[in-house]
Structure 1
Amino acid sequence: MASQLLRQSLRTVTRTSFTKPMMARTTSIATRPQLITKSFVCRPFSVALPRMSAGESDADLVHKLEEELSYEKENEEPTQPAFIKEFLEANSFKLEDKAGHDEVTLTRTFGNETISVLFSISDINNGETDGFLPDEDEVTEEDEVSFPVRASVTIEKNGKGAVTIDTVAQDGEMAVESVMYYKDGKLASDASAESDWQRRGLYIGPQFGELDEGLQSLFEKYLEERGVNAGLAAFLPDYVEYKEQKEYTQWLDNVKGFVSA
């Protein structure tokens, strides 16, 4: 702002101290051209903005964030829940979870195959209530609303391409939505813009529900043998809730630190 005002001031000084001669044209050749001066007058101005180290609401906001953060930390589990370790050991999956990121990946091997299951914590907001929320007094453990978790299962074989199977985990079941084959296995998992563009032009296959029932059943068994089963369907929503809680607590801490800085 200071440099802008300086340039404006310089332009003002220049314009007010300089008169530009202009030649007046006449219809008579005998008439000598006369010099007419036109002055440009420019009024200098400045805009002063108030400088404040903090807004009036900053302290109140920080205090409220501290209250919320304190409450969340008091109710969080001190150690990693047992269900995570139990699932990973029973199903030979490895967990890839980066703090601050929305997506989580489970990986494992099966023979000559590399299997990855990609899901997101954003699905915690996808619970379906059909526009009706029961009273808290009427809710029991059996009536708790279940939310679906979308999981993209990719099975890759070296030199043989890959298949990506879109699934939805809900109520202890893994429902298959589609099966897509990639001749180039890199396209199944590469997140680059080029790979994304190439995927858009490929045939994605039919809807899973349109396949022959016998074929659907065999695909489901194919996935179950690779750990994409009821155990995974039960694990995904629980882990999404666990991670979302961790990320929320960290978000509160980060925002509080920013506002109070």
Structure 2
Amino acid sequence: MASQLLRTSLRALSRPAFKAAAFATAPRVATPAVRSIPMIARPMATRFYSSGTGKKNNYYFIDSDLVHKLEEELQYEKSNEESAQPEFVKEFLEANSFQLDDKLGHDEVSLTRTFGNEKIKILFSIADINNAGPSEDFLAEGEETVEEDDIAPSFPVRASITVEKDGKGAVTIDTVAQDGDMAIESVMFYKENKLAIEQSAEADWQRRGLYIGPQFAELDENLQSLFARYLEERGVNTGLATFLPDYVEYKEQKEYIHWLDSMKTFISA
């Protein structure tokens, strides 16, 4: 088990940097802001030399080796994959009124529900798992074995919560889930529902000129507490804060297996 967990952790730590930065902080939108892609220092290009017997010889040898390695990794990951929906997902959905919308190949996931005359949507991304820094213990020099408790870091997951009322506008609350707590970062109000939920160039342009609200941490403490209770009443509570990091980890693994399979299929075609 220790070697298996070590392999999984090393794979997660070596993911490309361009998947980091789950949500940008500005401009404020109803859904997590479009992630910016940082400039990455590119390594020197690998040179390929022909043996002089034509491209086909080298070309197909490389393809075959790559397909073989992808298949090897795919089978390893599948052997550790849960065949059915994990129990923690079933338990959360059964205990709450949320509907889960998760599309394979996409890194964003949404939870939706109704609450009286309100429509509530929670949007989060699996990219946050790549923002979790390795622990010092895990990377300690000379360490050969890893205990399960050492590779279960609690990483923050950003979630954008939108509460709509037909014809009355919408409120968007940006939060961070970590260690069983939902911390509020900002609260925004939109007079038009579409400005809170629509993802288009026109809606984005209109949002840019709007007042996005005060710094939440600077609000009166009683007001902050009431906003937290407002969310709790709508199911944004400790249960959700615990569920989000677990689901992000589960989905990231599922997407990695899908990526391996897609790459193997393409290269072997």
Does the 8 Å CA contact 1:155/1:162 hold for their aligned counterparts? yes
> Structure 1 CA distance, aligned partners of 2:206 and 2:134?
38
> Structure 2 CA distance, aligned partners of 1:255 and 1:145?
29
Residue of structure 2 aligned with 1:111, choices 103, 110, 116:
116
Does the 8 Å CA contact 1:178/1:208 hold for their aligned counterparts? yes
**TM value normalised by structure 1:** 0.77
Residue of structure 1 aligned with 2:216, choices 193, 208, 214:
208
Q: Match for residue 141 of structure 1? A: 149
Q: Deviations over 1:21-68 (max 9, x none)?
A: xxxxxxxxxxxxxxxxxxxxxxxxxxxxx6648443111111100100
Does the 8 Å CA contact 1:125/1:147 hold for their aligned counterparts? no
In the TM superposition, 1:1-261 aligns within 5 A as 52=56, 54-129=59-134, 133-135=138-140, 137=145, 139=147, 141=149, 144-261=152-269
> Structure 1 CA distance, aligned partners of 2:227 and 2:147?
37
> Structure 1 CA distance, aligned partners of 2:205 and 2:147?
47
> Structure 1 CA distance, aligned partners of 2:219 and 2:179?
23
> Structure 2 CA distance, aligned partners of 1:72 and 1:255?
15
> Structure 2 CA distance, aligned partners of 1:200 and 1:132?
44
1:133 deviates by: 4.0
> Structure 2 CA distance, aligned partners of 1:231 and 1:128?
24
> Structure 2 CA distance, aligned partners of 1:207 and 1:144?
32
- Amino acid in structure 2 at the alignment position of 1:80: Q
> Structure 1 CA distance, aligned partners of 2:170 and 2:218?
22
Residue aligned with 2:89, SS: helix
> Structure 2 CA distance, aligned partners of 1:208 and 1:178?
5
Q: Deviations over 1:155-189 (max 9, x none)?
A: 00011100000000011110000000000011111
Change in Cα spacing, 1:139 to 1:75, as seen in structure 2 (3 Å) is closer
Q: Deviations over 1:137-170 (max 9, x none)?
A: 4655277311110000000001110000000001
> Structure 2 CA distance, aligned partners of 1:131 and 1:191?
40
Change in Cα spacing, 1:206 to 1:242, as seen in structure 2 (3 Å) is same
Higher-RCO chain (CA-CA 8 Å, sequence separation at least 6): 2
Unaligned 5+ segments in structure 2 are 1-53
Structure 1 or 2: larger strand share? Answer: 1
List structure 1 segments (4+ residues) > 2 angstroms apart after TM superposition. Answer: 50-56, 128-144
1:101 deviates by: 0.7
Residue aligned with 2:61, SS: coil
1:85 deviates by: 1.3
Q: How many residues align?
A: 212
**TM value normalised by structure 2:** 0.74
Q: Percent identity?
A: 69
1:243 deviates by: 0.8
Q: Match for residue 5 of structure 1? A: none
> Structure 2 CA distance, aligned partners of 1:169 and 1:260?
41
Residue aligned with 1:56, SS: helix
- Tell me which structure has the larger Cα radius of gyration: 1
Unaligned 5+ segments in structure 1 are 1-49
- Amino acid in structure 2 at the alignment position of 1:62: V
> Structure 1 CA distance, aligned partners of 2:237 and 2:260?
35
